[in-house]
């Protein structure tokens, strides 16, 4: 074990103390080995010794946790072989079996157990098994839906009308559960759910433009345009070369300028219009015979590429007119409010049912 030669970066990771460190490296590059060595150096540190039970090592699977323990054990054994009388090493070996080298699940469980007094959880709680959970959840949903149907909240009914098929409303429970899974992956599920409603509270095209996803869409479109521009510029350059297909030059220049103009635009709709115009008014390349056949083909291929790119952007980002998008979103608002209210109620009732 002591034969290992660490790289400079690894050595830095091993040496650093009293800071948070993020180690990111390729699979098989020795992250775990470095971590094990770091743990060993910690517990062997003469000046600031740390016992194994004062460390928390979290992994994602039980097998990974056990493997981590095995590596530490091997390293400990190797050291003990050389120095069997070292009480510090002996103690670590004894502590290893119950050290906090665990999966994230069992660590969380331990935190909950130790602080159950501070939580709204019964100290006699147990971890429910999947089957039981499913039954419980189904029961809660059934009761909830029946109550909602009785209450006839218009937003709830809007949701049901929009999504349930004629045979049954199974889709409602599926959607609740799907949303619950997504929400529960967030630190504050309820807040997240309420926040996601904001995506539907859009009253004007201006507001629409300001949404995160429209901004993301815009930047995607612009990235596409600048890709197109590089292709067009390259095509134009080839046409300008000495034996290039100069008969292409006028059209290529025109198109290149048009693309460049589009690149300058910042308005989503405006770009869409320009792009649609660009695609619908694409001219035909001159059929005059050129000098260098190869360069001609090259320019042609490049042009085909940006033509395709343009069509792709249109199909992908401009399938629907923005005012229609706005209408769709507004139409979706009531059903989504219904769904989210339903999901929030479910969360509340389910938590109650678990108690």
List contacts with other proteins (CB under 8 A): 53, 61-63, 65-67, 69-70, 73-74, 77, 80, 84-85, 87, 90-91, 94-98, 110, 113-114, 116-117, 120-125, 145-146, 149-150, 157, 160-161, 164-169
**HEC secondary structure over 159-221:** HHHHHCCCCCCHHHHHHHHHHHHHHHCCCCHHHHHHHHHHHHCCCCHHHHHHCHHHHHHHHHH
How near is the Cβ of 216 to other proteins at its closest, in Å? Answer: 23
How near is the Cβ of 268 to other proteins at its closest, in Å? Answer: 21
How near is the Cβ of 318 to other proteins at its closest, in Å? Answer: 14
Nearer to other proteins, 77 or 188 (CB): 77
Q: How far apart are CA 100 and CA 82, in angstroms?
A: 26
Q: How far apart are CA 178 and CA 183, in angstroms?
A: 9
How near is the Cβ of 69 to other proteins at its closest, in Å? Answer: 6
| Residue 317: HSE in the Cβ half-sphere, 13 Å Cα cutoff | 27
List the Cα angle 174/175/177 in 5-degree steps. Answer: 65
Which residues, other chains included, contact 8 with Cβ-Cβ below 8 Å and sequence gap of 6+?
none
How near is the Cβ of 106 to other proteins at its closest, in Å? Answer: 8
Nearer to other proteins, 46 or 130 (CB): 130
Nearer to other proteins, 162 or 182 (CB): 162
Nearer to other proteins, 161 or 243 (CB): 161
Q: How far is CA 59 from the centre of its chain?
A: 20
Strand partners, 100: 56
Nearer to other proteins, 9 or 105 (CB): 105
């Amino acid at each position: 074990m002591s034969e290992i030669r660490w790289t400079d970066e690894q050595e830095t990771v091993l040496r650093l103390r009293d800071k948070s460190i993020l180690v990111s490296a390729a699979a098989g590059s020795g992250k775990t080995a470095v971590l094990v060595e770091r743990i060993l150096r910690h517990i062997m540190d003469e000046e600031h010794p740390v016992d194994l039970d004062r460390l928390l090592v979290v992994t994602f699977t039980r097998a990974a946790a056990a493997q981590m323990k095995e590596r530490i054990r091997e390293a400990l054994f190797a050291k003990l072989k050389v120095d069997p009388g070292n009480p510090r090493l002996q103690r670590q070996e004894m502590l290893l079996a119950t050290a906090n080298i665990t999966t994230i699940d069992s660590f969380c469980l331990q935190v909950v157990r130790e602080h159950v007094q501070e939580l709204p959880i019964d100290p006699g709680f147990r971890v429910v098994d999947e089957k039981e959970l499913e039954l419980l959840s189904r029961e809660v949903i059934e009761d909830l839906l029946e109550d909602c149907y009785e209450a006839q909240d218009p937003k709830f009914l809007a949701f049901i009308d929009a999504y349930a098929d004629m045979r049954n409303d199974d889709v409602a429970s599926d959607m609740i559960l799907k949303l619950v899974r997504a929400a529960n992956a967030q630190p504050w599920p309820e807040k997240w759910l309420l926040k996601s409603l904001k995506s539907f509270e859009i009253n004007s095209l201006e507001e629409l433009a300001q949404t995160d996803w429209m901004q993301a869409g815009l930047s995607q479109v612009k990235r596409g345009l600048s890709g197109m521009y590089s292709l067009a510029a390259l095509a134009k350059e080839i046409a300008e070369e000495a034996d290039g297909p100069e008969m292409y030059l006028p059209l290529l220049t025109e198109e290149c300028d048009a693309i460049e103009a589009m690149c300058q635009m910042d308005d989503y709709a405006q770009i869409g219009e320009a792009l649609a115009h660009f695609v619908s008014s694409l001219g035909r390349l001159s059929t005059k015979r050129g000098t260098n056949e190869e360069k001609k083909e090259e320019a042609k291929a490049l042009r085909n590429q940006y033509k395709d790119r343009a069509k792709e952007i249109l199909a992908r980002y401009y399938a629907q007119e923005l005012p229609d998008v706005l209408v769709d979103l507004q139409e979706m608002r009531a059903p989504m409010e219904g769904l989210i209210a339903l999901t929030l109620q479910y969360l509340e009732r389910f938590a109650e049912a678990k108690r």
